[in-house]
Amino acid sequence: MIVIARKIKFVDKYYCSYILRLQKKIKPYVETYGVFSLAAFVAIPIPGSGVYSAALISDVMAFPKSSFLLGSILGTIISGVIVVYISLGLSFI
């Protein structure tokens, strides 16, 4: 849908300016907390906070691909451990 909407000139201009402004604003946070924030987002086992959503976020926020891969792998492992603990009825210490 975004690809089709970006073919309209004023939509593309607004979209690009918004994304660039957002990337400038969050750049210090991405450099500081990038991998850990992405891993924490993926690790929350609720619908909509998985690797696909993290891929979209990392693309919009200009994460490096290596940071995205590391964050998504860590988050998926943490999420898997949480789901196993919950499904087996084990409690956290």
Cβ 75 vs Cβ 39: under 8 Å = yes
For the chain, the distance separating the N- and C-terminal CA atoms, rounded to the nearest angstrom, is 45
Query: What per-residue confidence (pLDDT) applies to 52?
Result: 85
Query: What per-residue confidence (pLDDT) applies to 84?
Result: 87
Per-residue tokens: 27:
């750049």
- pLDDT, one tens digit per residue, over 23-48 is 788 788 777 877 888 888 888 888 87
Average pLDDT over residues 43-69: 84
**How does DSSP assign 59-92, residue by residue?**
HHTT--HHHHHHHHHHHHHHHHHHHHHHHHT---
